[in-house]
Structure 1
Amino acid sequence: MELFLEIFLVITALAIVLNVIFKLFDIPTIIGYIVTGIAISHMYDMGNREEIAHVAEFGIVFLMFTIGLEFSFKHLMSMKKEVFINGGLQFLITSAFITLLVLRAFDTMSLEISIIIACSLALSSTAIVLKILNDTGKISQAYGKKTLGILLFQDLAVIPILLMVDFFASSGDVEIEILVLKTLVSVVIVVSLLFFIGKYVFNSFFHTILKTDSHEIFIASVLFIVIGSSFLSHSFGFSYSLGAFIAGMLIAETSHKHAIEADLIPFRDILLGLFFITIGMQIDFEIIANNWGLVLFLLIGVMTLKAVVVYVIIKFQVRRRIAIKTSLSLCQVGEFALAILALMGTKDLLDRETSGILIAVIVISMFLTPFILNNLNRIANKFENEMPTENEDVYIQPQTIKDHFIIAGYGRLGQMIVQELKQKNLKYVVLESDLSLVELGRSRGENVYLGNIIDKQTLKEAGIDNAYSIIVAIANEQKLEIVAELLKSMKLGIDIFIRYTGSEKKDLFKNFDNNFHFIKEERAIAQLMLSRALKEKDKIS
């Protein structure tokens, strides 16, 4: 027990110190967690890491559940092209090419084992990619949706990969037809059970829980649903995260999704941090040193193949810039590949050295991913001169104007603010994450761009250094609070105006600097109505 507490304290202290230092250089927290794992693996003999890995896997489970909350079954069916066509083509084509690469790298490896390894390397990192896209709000952008669709198919593809492992490990004891039939029956049972529970139980269940007026009971019931749906999925041979995702989509149909999402975020982020620490613990530097040429060959080969395949598939559907950003978002290898390699090791399908080489390739690709994702715009800009495309003016470009307003959101309120600024001949730049609203604003000849208010590079391109003030006109209260907190952490030093509704300011926004001005929407409307009424009174007088 004392050793456990010591390791826990060291891990926590290291993670905090490293992330504080890394944040000074804009290095993502994911990297801090991975480096923490590397350090801990050299400081302590962790013994059986499998139990820690199982706990850490629930970071992905909670992530997939919160993603599912944003995507109901109707939404998923509207993405069927992204999921089943793009995802299916990416997985099959990438697996075929990587199989040839693996056979070239390991001369003595059989074709069957090479196919399993290639299929696992064709998977990308759900945990890293979706976390960063969620944190930056870019999951709703065109390339974010394309990326999500392919990642969802990859989660489904884990099932046939696990089937292949079982089949080749059984040495002919189990017929493949029986395995396939068993899997199909399991799919029907799991989906039917979760759909029935979601349609007929969730609403009444949460209604009963809310009657207790106990926040801790509500959180406990949410945790029970997440872990229960994951356990049900795993009991039938599927990944924990698949069951959590389906449960999230079912709850997305209820009126409780926003409250549930807000309560789960702390659990999700803590467990995700633990997951990335376990990733760092799996790096064996001795194997890397002895096989660095092979590791480098596989790393460059796999990441290049994945990026090229995704780009070729996507470029016929969207602008080239979106295709570039989607391909770069998916070029790494994902966490499920580590689980598949571990399973192959336990079934004696893979030796320790080969497994160590592949783990090194996977972890290094994951290590590079945050740097790639956080610089997608810069990388895409370098290709723009060589690849001119249509309608690129929707993307924010470096602004040269001064003393202008930066407006976040082009909904109804944002549109009204723009009209007022235009009437007064004042300069402005609008940042909006919804492409349809951006295109609406561009059609009106207004200075509206596709961008994210919480992205530092986007703010810089919007001319934040020379701006007069920022006006946040976002309607979603939960997102509004997140945006306010992030703008506060940036310490911009200019006036920031934020509208809010419903709750009192003191409940939502605490300890903000004097440059933040919070305007309650109801009060603003009352003042406007009174002002109009007094003007009419003066006319009559």
Structure 2
Amino acid sequence: MATEAAGSDLVHVVALLAAGVVAVPIFKRLGLGSILGYLAAGLVIGPFGLGLFSDPEAILHVAELGVVMFLFIIGLEMEPSRLWGMRREIFGLGMLQVGVCALLLTCIGLATGFPVAVSFVAAAGFVLTSTAIVMQLLEERGDMASPKGQRMISILLLEDLAIVPLLALVAFLAPGGADMSWAERLIDVGIGLASIAGLVLAGRYLLNPLFRILAESRAREVMTAAALLVVLGSALAMELGGLSMAMGAFLAGVLLSESTFRHQLEADIEPFRGVLLGLFFLAVGMSLDLTVVWANWMTVAAYVVAYMVVKGLGIYLVARFLKSGHREALERAVVMAQGGEFAFVLYSSALAVGIIDGQANAMLTAIIIISMVLTPLAIVVLRRITPADEQTLEGVDVADGLTGSVLVIGFGRFGQIASQPLLLRGIDVSIIDNDVEMIHAAADFGFKVYYGDGTRLDILRAAGAGKARAVLICVDKAEVSVRIAEQMKAEFPLVPVLARAYDRGNAMALIRAGVDYQMRETFESALLFGESTLRHLGAEEEEAAEVIADVRRRDAERLELQIAGGIKAGRGLMKGNMPVPTPLTQPKRPGQALNEEAAIVLGKPATAK
């Protein structure tokens, strides 16, 4: 019997792993994200799919630790100073958006005949946006550090913190909750504050010495166990204090964000966080009661549309009220219009205290899940129907009549460094870029950058390209650099053009366009890195320099052969820097440069695509 039970448990574990492994890559390939893959996989293997699991609530209870660990990782990224710097966005923008959306969504419940308590709980759950979905979208689009991304993160932080007072409100709104005496309420508040204070004191005075002692023992598994102990212990402390487990983990992360062990903790927690968070969404997918949804599909569909539209409208109005542009406000409204994972926690609490019944919980859970499924699709539609970003040129000078000796096109990280020697030599440099935010940022540091699109011939003329002694193409997009080079050589063939190349393929395209000089952005820095490595391994300075010169010569020869033969650059491990076969000579003296293995690597053919 014991063997049968163990075999049954193993079947469940294998089913969970297989569902995630199969579904997630498919959904990511379709551009729908890993979270929706987990949700769909959970639905398939759950009680309303293949029926491999009959009690998703048990899995969900364990998998909630994934959300806890996710909040801990977020806390590690939020240093106290950074949180303090974002306080206006968190407690201003965040509170305003949560308040407005909660009020609007509560009115929907009241208008459709539900009691105040049920309407508020349903609305409050939907207000809590999915942190996992939004953070993933921001990361995929590279907007984590952008101003609009930071504003979304601030709102998410406030919503994550809001789960604490919302859970307290659920207890108060429960039947009999209003009968609690003031003394009982004060005791509950005191216990919660004591839990927070105890966690802060432990994080400030105990955790760093603890990890220092453990690090000296050099037992990696003990460090991993300690990291888990910190996360789960802080979550337990908050839960015992009547607060949110996720709140405790987030506070622990913030307290350790400036610790010297921060990166070690993140590395130790990350595998558990990823697996458990995936398990959480699998369990959520299993919890979708298709029987209830099918029996009430019109009601569910109506509330999904109403909640998403009204919440999106509230987000848009708040954003515009606080002076955000139309495009940013609309994008924020679409990205954050769904409900989130904390709604499941809130609805479970409301079910436990009797505010809602099992059928209402199933319907609300279905509404949240469907809204999460629709979010990636809504973003795709938004990108299709909205025009490209329109930038305001307020306070920005447009390139017109510039007469600099050197014209620099693109003032990102590459253009800034490339222009410094020219400026130090007193050379008259004109700089154009089409990123308004970057132009404003450059002005703060004393750089005069003009607005202009280098791919337009009229802009190149206005920027003085025809009279310049040299034109530097420093843009970061390969196809744009080639277009500018072609324009320059067609219209101003006598002006020297020096270009930044993204990779080998881009370098070949620039050479064909006729540029006078091109440089792959990482090539020389990588050679210097390799030369320093040789010296650290004991090579003499002259010997290391000779090796690097040999590598540089071989690369130039291969580049010429590729251009002459019309060979495409490879797209393998080195993104187009893998060489094609060339004759390799042995070093003239032992230890000069490359051993046999290195020679084989340098001679390995690239796969042309």
Settle same-fold status: TM greater than 0.5.
yes
Counterpart check, 1:497 vs 2:497: no
CA distance in 2 between partners of 1:392 and 1:24 (Å): 42
Give RMSD over aligned pairs. Answer: 4.1
Query: Per-residue deviation at 1:353?
Result: 2.8
Query: Per-residue deviation at 1:365?
Result: 0.9
Counterpart check, 1:40 vs 2:45: yes
Query: Per-residue deviation at 1:333?
Result: 0.7
Match in the other structure for 2:343:
337
Counterpart check, 1:515 vs 2:576: yes
CA distance in 2 between partners of 1:66 and 1:292 (Å): 37
Give ranges in structure 2 of 5+ residues lacking alignment: 1-5, 397-407, 454-474, 485-499, 504-518, 535-571, 579-609
Query: Per-residue deviation at 1:244?
Result: 0.9
CA distance in 2 between partners of 1:230 and 1:119 (Å): 22
Output the amino acid matched with 1:281: M
1:327 pairs with one of 304, 308, 333: 333
Query: Per-residue deviation at 1:428?
Result: 11
Match in the other structure for 2:253:
248
Output the amino acid matched with 2:574: D
Output the amino acid matched with 1:354: A
Residues 234 and 439 (structure 1), Cα distance of their counterparts in 2 relative to 1, 3 Å cut: farther
Give the conservation status (yes or no) of the 8 Å contact 1:61–1:241: yes
Output the amino acid matched with 2:282: I
Q: What TM-score does the superposition give when structure 1 sets the normalisation length?
A: 0.74
Report the 3-state secondary structure (helix = DSSP H, G, I; strand = E; otherwise coil) of the residue aligned with 2:522: strand
Residues 435 and 365 (structure 1), Cα distance of their counterparts in 2 relative to 1, 3 Å cut: farther
1:445 pairs with one of 444, 449, 461: 449
- 1:439-463 Cα offsets, whole Å, 9 max, x none, are 76995427899xxxxxxxx998975
- Equivalences for 1:421-436 in 2 at 5 Å? none
- Equivalences for 1:293-312 in 2 at 5 Å? 293-312=298-317
- Equivalences for 1:349-428 in 2 at 5 Å? 349-372=355-378, 378=383, 381-382=386-387, 389=392, 410=413, 415-417=416-418
Residues 390 and 157 (structure 1), Cα distance of their counterparts in 2 relative to 1, 3 Å cut: farther
Match in the other structure for 2:34:
29
Residues 196 and 352 (structure 1), Cα distance of their counterparts in 2 relative to 1, 3 Å cut: closer
CA distance in 1 between partners of 2:287 and 2:451 (Å): 49
Residues 260 and 361 (structure 1), Cα distance of their counterparts in 2 relative to 1, 3 Å cut: same
Residues 80 and 55 (structure 1), Cα distance of their counterparts in 2 relative to 1, 3 Å cut: same
Higher RCO by CA contacts (8 Å cutoff, separation 6 or greater)? 1
Counterpart check, 1:54 vs 2:61: yes
CA distance in 2 between partners of 1:190 and 1:408 (Å): 50
Between 1:276-285 and 1:349-358, the stretch displaced more is 349-358
Give the conservation status (yes or no) of the 8 Å contact 2:431–2:448: no
Counterpart check, 1:198 vs 2:199: no
Query: Per-residue deviation at 1:137?
Result: 4.1
- 1:386-419 Cα offsets, whole Å, 9 max, x none, are xx756699xxxxxxxxxxx999973xx7621465
Residues 172 and 430 (structure 1), Cα distance of their counterparts in 2 relative to 1, 3 Å cut: closer
Residues 179 and 429 (structure 1), Cα distance of their counterparts in 2 relative to 1, 3 Å cut: farther
Query: Per-residue deviation at 1:36?
Result: 0.4
CA distance in 1 between partners of 2:27 and 2:122 (Å): 33
Query: Per-residue deviation at 1:215?
Result: 2.5
Query: Per-residue deviation at 1:277?
Result: 0.9
- Equivalences for 1:81-96 in 2 at 5 Å? 81-96=88-103
Give the conservation status (yes or no) of the 8 Å contact 1:140–1:433: no
Query: Per-residue deviation at 1:48?
Result: 3.0
Match in the other structure for 2:276:
271
Match in the other structure for 1:526:
none
Residues 350 and 170 (structure 1), Cα distance of their counterparts in 2 relative to 1, 3 Å cut: closer
Q: What TM-score does the superposition give when structure 2 sets the normalisation length?
A: 0.66
Output the amino acid matched with 1:241: A
Counterpart check, 1:12 vs 2:22: no
CA distance in 2 between partners of 1:34 and 1:218 (Å): 33
Counterpart check, 1:284 vs 2:285: no
Output the amino acid matched with 1:282: S
Query: Per-residue deviation at 1:185?
Result: 1.5
- 1:92-115 Cα offsets, whole Å, 9 max, x none, are 22122111211233x3x3222222
Give the conservation status (yes or no) of the 8 Å contact 1:407–1:414: yes
